[in-house]
Amino acid sequence: MVKIGHIEIEGVPLLLAPMEDVTDPPFRYVCKMFGADIMYTEFISSEGLIRDAAKSVKKLDFEEFERPVGIQIFGHNIDSMVKAAQYAEEAGPDIIDINFGCSVKKVVSKGAGAGILNDIPKMVKMTEAIVKSVKTPVTVKTRLGYDDRHKQIVEIAERLQDTGIKALSIHGRTRTTKYSEPADWTLIGEVKNNPRMHIPIFGNGDITDAVTAKKLLEKYGVDGLMIGRATYGNPWIFKEIKHYLETGELLEKPDVTERIRVIKIQLEKSVDRKGEKRGIIEMRKHWGNYFKGFPNFKQFKLELMSVETKDAVLDILEKIEEFYKEK
C-alpha cells in the first residue's frame, strides 16, 4: 500500500500525468474507467487563477468519479503560487501538485516549470510556503535537473521532502533533454533507494507498455508509475499494466469495436461539458491516436477533422467500424 497523506492506494499506483490540452475531464474519465489510480488536471497558471482568468478557473473542474484527483499549478512568483494553491484547495481536490517540470520555453523563460531548476533555493522556498499555506497534501513533479551538467535530483528530492511534501514524481529527463533521447531512470532509482527518503517516489518517462512498466518497477524499485504520452488514444494502458503485473499475461489490444465504444463515451462527455462544436473540435487531437497503426485511416481522419456535429462524427465512426471489422 502506498500513502500520500490521507490517500491510500493498494498495489502499484498508476498515475495519469497532467498534460496540457490532453488530460481534460472527458479524457480523465476514460482513463479512470481503465484503472488510473490518481488523476491530475491540466497544469494551471497561478497568475491565471488569482486573476480569475476563465480558462484557468475552468481547469479546476473535476468529477467525483475521478478521485483521488490532484490539481496541478505552476508559476514563478511565490506569493502568487501560495494564493493559487489556496484557491485550488477551495475546489476540494485530494492533492495540490506543483509543476516544476514543464519544459515549454514560454513557461521556462519566466522561471516557472522546469525553469525553477536554475534556482533550487527558490524552488525549496516556494514549496515550503505552499505546504504551509494549505491543509491538502502537496506533491511535486519535476525533472532530473535543468541540463546534463546539473542533474541535482538526489539533493533536490531530499530538500523537497524536508519541506513536507507527501510524494514526488520524477521525469527521467532534464529540461534540455529532447524526447528523441531515452529517459534516464538511473537517478530516479538513486532517489528511491536513498535511505533518507521516506515519501513515495513515482517514476515518469518512456513507460510505453506493460512489459516496459514491469521492467522499470523491478529495476528501479519506485513506488508507482506516472504515465503520459503513452495514454494518448490508449486509456487501456492502465488495465494492461495492472493485468500484466498481477498475472504475467499480456492482454490483447482492443479491437475497433471497443475503441469506438470508448471514443463515444469521451465524445459524449466532451460535448456535454463544452457544447457540441467546441467539444468536437477538442476531440480532434485524439482521433489519430485512437486509431494509430490502422491502415488506410487517413481519409477517415480527414472526415473526422472536418465535421462539427455529433451526429456527423457518429456516422463516420460507424463507417470506420464497418470498414475495419471486414478486414
197: its cell numbers: 527518503
The answer for residues whose C-beta is within 8 angstroms of residue 32's C-beta and 6 or more apart is 39, 65, 66
Smallest CA-to-CA distance from 43 within 73, 86, 81 is with 73
What residues pair up with 44 in beta bridges, in sequence order? 73
Kind of pairing between the strands at 224-227 and 201-204 = parallel
Query: Which residues of the chain form beta strands (DSSP E)?
Result: 2-4, 7-9, 14-16, 39-40, 44-45, 69-74, 95-100, 138-143, 167-171, 201-204, 224-227
Q: Which of 102, 116, 140, 157 is catalytic?
A: 102
Looking at the chain, the number of H-run helices and the number of E-run strands are: 14, 11
45 φ, ψ to 5°? Answer: -70, 130
31 is an active site residue: no
What residues pair up with 312 in beta bridges, in sequence order? none
* CB 95 within 8 Å of CB 165: no
Residues involved in catalysis: 102
